[in-house]
Amino acid sequence: MTTLRLKIGPFVIALTGAAAPEENGNGSYSPFFYRGEEVSSLFIRIQDGLPPSLTKAPLVGGLLQNWRLFKEGEGWRFELLDPANFQAKQIARISPDFCSVDFYFCGEQGNLFSTRSWLLSQMTPFLQWWLTAYGAMRRTGFFVHASACAFPGRGGIVLSGPSGSGKTTLALLCREHARAVLLNDERTLLWRDEGEFRVSGTPWPGKAQEVSPLSVPLAILFLTTKAKQNRFVPVSTQEILNRLIPELFLPSWNREAMAGLFEFCDRLIQKVSVIEIHFKKDAGAVEMIKKITEFRSERRRLEAA
């Protein structure tokens, strides 16, 4: 048996199986391979065999032609569906506390899929779904459709907005003109560590195809809008919620998880500055971001002193 460990933000995941997985095509997982001293808190056992017979169980959630979740005894059963025939191509049996998983690959018509050769990218849909639910249920963090950058010594920023609002464009401008580290431009993790809000990259990039495992204190969350001039726009708490919530990855199948996510979101808005930025594609927008990020970082340092 071999074990591979991943660290994504605060989550240390141990994957154990008969053979180590191969890297996915763009190499986005390898920066998250972890050999540090933190103890694993989440566990996936890749089972080299067919899953036990699937018993009839209450359906508690799902996404049409994509996945289904069943309440199975004290735990849960997740099925990722093959869009060609709507049969389960992956099955995960999840412990009641959501910390431990027995994971099965299924071939055509339920035949055994050999786990002697498999790709980490094959597990991406489940990992995204699982960590979204786990973070919300534990009230420790959530994933947001956003870009994120880290400025050396000044913390990180999140650029959130719908597709086409300029998240990736502005993140790449920050990298080009301010030497910021691009953490991710599609799926970003926000989490809390002993009262401090932090931002982390994830292995699931957007069109920039760049990722970083770096975790840094969150300085500012920006709501992005393309415009003809660069400026900051005041935004009310209600407007923040109206614009941020549609960009969250929601565990809508579980009332407890949804409550945890909204509680986390409320605390985030109270603690971290949220600003709307109208910007055009030039270095001026980056200069504005640098100045306000430096100010917020210095204020945070003084408050902690």
| Domains located in the chain, CATH noted | 2-137 (no CATH), 141-304 (3.90.228.20)
Question: What pLDDT, on the 0 to 100 scale, is given for residue 145?
Answer: 95
Q: What percent of the chain has pLDDT over 90?
A: 70
Question: What pLDDT, on the 0 to 100 scale, is given for residue 24?
Answer: 55
Residue 39 has pLDDT above 60, yes or no: yes
Question: What pLDDT, on the 0 to 100 scale, is given for residue 134?
Answer: 94
Residue 286, helix vs strand vs coil: helix
Q: In whole angstroms, give the CA distance from residue 279 to residue 293.
A: 16
Tens-place pLDDT, residues 125-178: 999 999 999 999 988 899 999 999 999 888 999 999 999 999 999 999 999 999
Residue 109 has pLDDT above 50, yes or no: no
Q: Which residues, listed in sequence order, are joined to residue 198 by a DSSP beta bridge?
A: 191, 217
Which contacts of 173-176 are long-range, i.e. CB under 8 A and separated by 24 or more positions?
Answer: 173/281, 173/282, 173/283, 173/285, 173/286, 174/149, 174/286, 174/289, 175/149, 176/286
Hey, how many other C-beta atoms are within 10 angstroms of the C-beta on 302?
8
Tens-place pLDDT, residues 75-100: 999 999 998 888 899 999 999 999 99
Lay out the sheet containing 2-8: strands in order across. 2-8, 11-17, 42-46, 100-105, 88-94, 75-81, 67-72, 59-63
